[in-house]
Amino acid sequence: MLQTILKYSLLVLAALSFIYPFIWMLSASLSSESSLGELTLLPVDFTWNNYVTVFTKIPLDRAFLNSALVAVLTTGLVLLSGAMVGYALARLDFVGKNIIFYLIIFTMTLPFQITLIPNYITMVKLGWVDTYLALIVPFALNSLSVLLFRQAFQSLPQALIDAARIDGAGELRIIFQVLIPNIFPTVLTITILTFMGLWNEALWPLIVIRDESTMTMPQLVTLFSVGGRAEGQLGVKIAAAVMLAIPIVVLYLFFQKHFIRSMASSGLKD
């Protein structure tokens, strides 16, 4: 009994310490600038002003649409390309299959910062700076999704593929109509991991996008917060940060169960 109480107290304490900064952020964003010094749970001098300021100073709605467009499109492409490459590596026979696979795995060990400059130069040469292409194309294939798809496809019986071939299905139909529905948890994992990664990405957009109307939310919020346009008002910065977090929080509420599974299986990546 005592043990149970102790256990729960510890867990509650831990949960509170994680949730407190977020709650404080929410309440701070709804408080007046002068009362920000107090670390309270409820807003002091309740006001929407911070949000009004954010929306008047920066095109946050436009940035939201940009972010959504980039994240949705790229995630879709990651699923398509990952499934196709993963299937080829798992189920087709061709020369150099293993070498290609190990090369793809090798790229996972390279920190993003190392490829940052070469990638940027490529974007410049292609003339994609300040376009959505720069935000989408470099991320349209990722090694984690290839790896996860490959493992999932390998776990399915060959007879399923054989049966589909005899039924008259081509390789694409086999991938997307016969196999994918049977590895749905993997698809969801990849979707969540990819989407979150893209949504939170701030560094790459900061490098390739300078035109405000093409900026993504994290980029815009970062620029706004540190670029001086918030005029040192902490409350306004916090309100922008809340706006940035809300979509992911909403997504989390919808896919809570899968989120946890995705996180558990993401031990492969940072």
Partner 1 sequence: MAEVILRHIAKAYDKGTNVIKDVNIDIKDREFVVLVGPSGCGKSTLLRMIAGLEEITDGDLLLDGQRINDLPPKDRDIAMVFQNYALYPHMTVYDNMAFGLKLRNMPKDEIRKRVMQAAKILDIENLIDRKPKDMSGGQRQRVAIGRAIVRNPKVFLFDEPLSNLDAKLRGQTRIELQKLHRELLTTMIYVTHDQIEAMTLGDRIVVLRSGDVMQFDTPLKLYNQPANLFVAGFIGTPPMNFLAGQIVRKDSTLCFLSKQKTLTLPLTDTGHEQSLKTYEGEEVIMGLRAEDISVSLIETNQTLYVTTIQVVEHMGSEVLAYFTIEEQRFVAKLSGDTLLEFGQSVYVGWNLGKAHFFDAKTELAIR
Residue closer to partner 1 by CB (options 57, 173) is 173
Q: Is 119 in the site for partner 1 (CB under 8 A)?
A: no
Residue closer to partner 1 by CB (options 5, 166) is 166
Cα 139 to Cα 71: distance, rounded to the nearest angstrom: 10
Q: Is 84 in the site for partner 1 (CB under 8 A)?
A: no
Residue closer to partner 1 by CB (options 37, 168) is 168
Q: Is 96 in the site for partner 1 (CB under 8 A)?
A: no
**Residue among 224, 197, 213, 202 at smallest CA distance from 131:** 213
Q: Which of 69, 178, 188, 248 binds partner 1 (CB under 8 A)?
A: 178
Cα 120 to Cα 74: distance, rounded to the nearest angstrom: 18
Q: Is 172 in the site for partner 1 (CB under 8 A)?
A: no
**Residues 105, 259, 184, 254: is their CA dihedral positive or negative?**
negative
Please report how close the Cβ of residue 174 comes to partner 1 at its closest, in angstroms. 11
Hey, what are 49's tokens? 């002003």
Cα 269 to Cα 219: distance, rounded to the nearest angstrom: 23
Q: Is 212 in the site for partner 1 (CB under 8 A)?
A: no
**Residue among 190, 113, 91 at smallest CA distance from 148:** 190
Residues 130-169 that bind partner 1 (CB under 8 A): 157, 159-160, 162-169
Residues 182-211 that bind partner 1 (CB under 8 A): 182
Please report how close the Cβ of residue 158 comes to partner 1 at its closest, in angstroms. 9
Angle at the Cα of 240 (from 112 to 76), degrees rounded to 5?
A: 45
Cα 247 to Cα 229: distance, rounded to the nearest angstrom: 24
Contacts with partner 1, residue ranges (CB under 8 A): 157, 159-160, 162-169, 173, 178, 181-182
